Amino acid sequence: MNIDLLIKMANQITSFWEGELGQDAAATEVATHLRRYWEPRMRAQMITYYEERQGSGLNDVAKKAVGLLAAQAMAAQAKPANTVK
């Protein structure tokens, strides 16, 4: 998907939550929204963009939200697979 469109969508989602909750809580809610409703490829593309371009074009809350997603993705990759005994 076009990264510019993903950036625009993330910023729009942020605008809603920021108005309702303030910046810190909004970042958590935006991350939750992206995890629940965005296709995994969209999230992966946004995380890659965030890591490569430091989230250029994202507003501050959206950057924080994508940073949360990136941290969660890294933590999930670091977990060892459960082994059946």
Is 80 a residue whose pLDDT tops 70? Answer: no
User: For 3-51, what is each residue's pLDDT tens digit?
Assistant: 999 999 999 999 989 888 888 899 999 999 999 999 999 999 999 999 9
pLDDT confidence of 1, banded at 50, 70, 90?
A: confident
3-state secondary structure the chain: CCHHHHHHHHHHHHHHHHHHHCHHHHHHHHHHHHHHHCCHHHHHHHHHHHHHHCCCCCCHHHHHHHHHHHHHHHHHHHCCCCCCC
Is 70 a residue whose pLDDT tops 60? Answer: yes
